Structure 1
């Protein structure tokens, strides 16, 4: 473990401004989150390297235990593409003599919680509620891949919720974070697991008994993670938080009927067959009996994952990628004049290279994608900078609309002709 040297802090208990990590000074750029026992910061080393630091508070309840717990779990499960990468651990010594234990982690992007908030904010802008089937499918597959791996290794995440599922712009997938409540199945060492609103019935019972000083025979299993994911997917599809619905008598009496009602009220927005596949998949995750709940491995075999979908334009704005898609730039007449077309290609490449290293640039002459400009950058950070600076600019009197575009779709030549 690397020992951090003296580093400046604002004041005791305040947000640190610097961390010394592995002999190098990293500057704190922003606080990303704060909990009872730890805070998470975005840090930069000054060499265009960014990461996240999770700093555990020594005086807080369970702070030191939480550090050792999360460190041991993360070190044991490293290497899966849908689980956050742990770069290292270190001790931070502040200038006021306090020492805190820290994890240096991969920096990720937008969380599913933020995506749900954006979906709710945009309901008035379009008749369709919730997120596209493309995003629901993408998130479901990525999280199930992570859970299948985690469960094969004998671990239960035990705190799956929208805030703990984050998008990776570099790897173009969703990843799980926060393993502070995780445990080896059969060796549960925490009494209170999962977050209200995403807590499985058996975990609810166990938590209630523990609060009353009683102990339930047996422990929660990996099935609690499938329950949480089922709720997350239902919220993504409906665009509605389900916490109050789950407290209702209707849910208690017949949750399957409530799920049918949610899907029935939103069935005009999607084709019927894939919607029925998604509904059945979610129902299989939300069986009240944990023994009847589907496993992550079995859920991945659902026919829902065999159908291709297109994303909403809002989702392409929110999910960073190394590829940008520029709209409202090219007139049809420019595409059919070879000299003008070549000039436009050169001009666009020259302009886009101002913001980062351009790997490729494509302007299709025919549909799908006719007249749209696709720019692949060497990194997602370059693309994010370009998207920020290009959006709203005018070229030849036209306002530029810049969204991200899925890297794999671009590389395969799959250009969405229309977006739902």
Structure 2
């Protein structure tokens, strides 16, 4: 990249035996910048992303970088999982203005969860999106934790959507480490930092050694905060750093879900609430694992179907909540709560005899008190 350094405008670069056109800068940080690139001379080749690490301030015999080395090692060992960004290769940019810079050539992904939160205009993301993100990130965490890796910097900016594969992927492994071999003291980002990591960071800043090392449980804490922000549509940095949160985080989570009850499906939201609470336990040993979290009943709810049904049912009046029970899925049971009895009667009359997804619809009434208390599995027909 002749005449260009990290963070500058980069016209061309040579990597892996090909010439790449730099199209735009996607982001920059203290140690690296990321650029969108496209292979020259091959319009069929998919675009990529180059992460260029800033050259060291002082000349060194081997221009290796701490963050670069950690991220490269992690991505090479975790290569192949669909929910982890793909590393295509590594190369050195010898034409950087400040000296040789090390680069990672990565797959190009799309919008981040951070951007999705901005687009939601403080209304929160759809339950389908939250479920999809939670499952994909948990799949990634389950895989890397099985490999003894800890991501250590999970946050909305580091979870990106892949339009090509229709899934979310984890990026940025610059702070990752292997359990039992942690050689970095300052981990995670403010607002997504687990209590044990907060303590470790404070001790490190004071020059003291922590008696216990952080484990994969710190990633579950971060994901719990991310999902809570996706549900509420609010940044929760100041909330999770407050004394009220430290005194009774469970009550604050309950309040967030209670305030959103009209917008999101009641009982499915409770499953999400319980999943998030299991990730945000103050004691790391009592926090759920990624593998256990994937067994949550929250993931048995077909939100894609729910959205289609909601669209149809809303033709007859405002829908307060909906639920597809996970038991007896072959019956095709769907519970729909309307805002008032008249709308419910109209829907019952007009939906009966219709076809949905190739099946005849038979609608009947169900006691609201039983629905609210979760008694959903009595015979309907």
| TM-score (normalizing by structure 2) | 0.76
Alpha-carbon separation, structure 1, partners of 2:301 and 2:17:
49
Q: Does the CA-based 8 Å contact 2:32-2:53 persist in structure 1?
A: yes
Alpha-carbon separation, structure 1, partners of 2:6 and 2:223:
39
Partner of 1:252: 246
- Structure 1: gaps of 5 or more residues: 1-6, 124-128, 314-365, 370-420
Alpha-carbon separation, structure 2, partners of 1:140 and 1:209:
32
SS at match of 1:141: helix
CA spacing shift, 1:115–1:11, aligned 2, 3 Å: closer
Partner of 2:53: 56
Q: Does the CA-based 8 Å contact 1:9-1:18 persist in structure 2?
A: no
Partner of 2:290: 296
CA spacing shift, 1:99–1:263, aligned 2, 3 Å: same
Partner of 2:80: 79
Alpha-carbon separation, structure 1, partners of 2:89 and 2:96:
22
Does 1 or 2 have the higher relative contact order (CA < 8 Å, sep 6+)?
A: 1
Partner of 1:101: 102
* CA positional deviation for 1:269: 1.5
Is 1:152–2:152 an aligned residue pair?
Answer: no
Partner of 1:182: 176
Alpha-carbon separation, structure 2, partners of 1:276 and 1:12:
46
Q: Does the CA-based 8 Å contact 1:133-1:311 persist in structure 2?
A: no
| TM-score (normalizing by structure 1) | 0.69
- Structure 2: gaps of 5 or more residues: 308-353, 358-381
What does 1:14-413 correspond to in 2, within 5 Å? 14-46=8-40, 47-48=42-43, 49=45, 50-59=47-56, 64-94=65-95, 96=97, 98-120=99-121, 123=122, 129-310=123-304
Per-residue Cα deviation, 1:74-119 (whole angstroms, up to 9, x for no partner): 1111010000000001111117572111100000000000001111
* CA positional deviation for 1:12: 8.6
Q: CA-atom RMSD, angstroms?
A: 2.2
SS at match of 1:224: helix
Alpha-carbon separation, structure 1, partners of 2:16 and 2:80:
22
Per-residue Cα deviation, 1:260-296 (whole angstroms, up to 9, x for no partner): 0000000112222111100000000000000000000
Per-residue Cα deviation, 1:323-380 (whole angstroms, up to 9, x for no partner): xxxxxxxxxxxxxxxxxxxxxxxxxxxxxxxxxxxxxxxxxxx9879xxxxxxxxxxx
SS at match of 2:88: strand
Alpha-carbon separation, structure 2, partners of 1:215 and 1:94:
41
CA spacing shift, 1:312–1:176, aligned 2, 3 Å: farther
SS at match of 2:303: coil
Q: Does the CA-based 8 Å contact 2:16-2:89 persist in structure 1?
A: no
